[in-house]
Structure 1
């Protein structure tokens, strides 16, 4: 009788992240944050938590980083990238969301200096201060009209289903 393999198989696991593109006219909701001692700009974004759906993570991260409650309406795209910050692979799900309510008194996540609204030109002018190339890629997808239905995503988590 053969024993099962005593050494666990090594499996590569990327960082799974979510981000929200929230537009108000020609301006987009952004965060100014301190990352490894430098100032960087990003959409509201962060890591998917265990037992959390992608949409729930996107709503949570936006609230935690900006004080804005949003409704996620569409998937903009899925982007794969190798981070220049930590060298690990990143799989990012970018969503289009609509701003619903702002709580100006809410304390923002550690490292987040402020939330602000910027035009695409303002964001592009930030150059190397952008957290990653995925920032403009997501905004450009939104501007190009990319809108994929959320029912492309399926969550089998009993407490957190979405179509």
Structure 2
């Protein structure tokens, strides 16, 4: 059996104690996740994080750091994901931008509002990444070598 982990990125954007999340359809359920997605050919991890955030939320962001690197095997399908989670600040929003397929909306929630809805998390990484962000440390972007 060939084992091939999927490289993904996610972005934590906080504004006044609220976090930018996406509501997306996954297996017929409406779930919450950070703006996140797969690394594409010929792009850097940083480029992927900026692109995915824009495509899923309509927000241009500036990356500010790295929360962590996570290895997660989804119990639903057995696929292993390596997630690089960045932090960013929101720069500008285009409310007219069409969001990616499957994305229903971008929304801002507090940590407690998110924690109160565990049945809606895409995975346990959603709250874990926010908690790691809040707990720190946040690592410098230069820890990611392109």
Q: TM-score, normalised by structure 1?
A: 0.87
Name the count of aligned residue pairs: 146
Distance in 2 between the 1:88 and 1:73 partners?
Answer: 29
**Residue in 2 aligned with 1:129?**
120
**Larger displacement relative to structure 2 (85-94 or 53-62):** 85-94
Q: Is 1:147 equivalent to 2:138 in the alignment? A: yes
Q: Which has the higher strand share?
A: 2
**Residue in 1 aligned with 2:20?**
29
Matches within 5 A, 1:8-157: 12-155=3-146
Higher relative contact order (CA 8 A, sep 6+): 2
SS at the partner of 1:121? helix
Distance in 1 between the 2:111 and 2:105 partners?
Answer: 18
- CA RMSD across the alignment: 1.0
SS at the partner of 1:99? strand
Consecutive unaligned residues of structure 1, counting only runs of 5 or more, are 1-9, 156-163
Distance in 2 between the 1:73 and 1:85 partners?
Answer: 32
Look at both structures and tell me which one has the larger radius of gyration over its CA atoms. 1
**Larger displacement relative to structure 2 (146-155 or 18-27):** 146-155
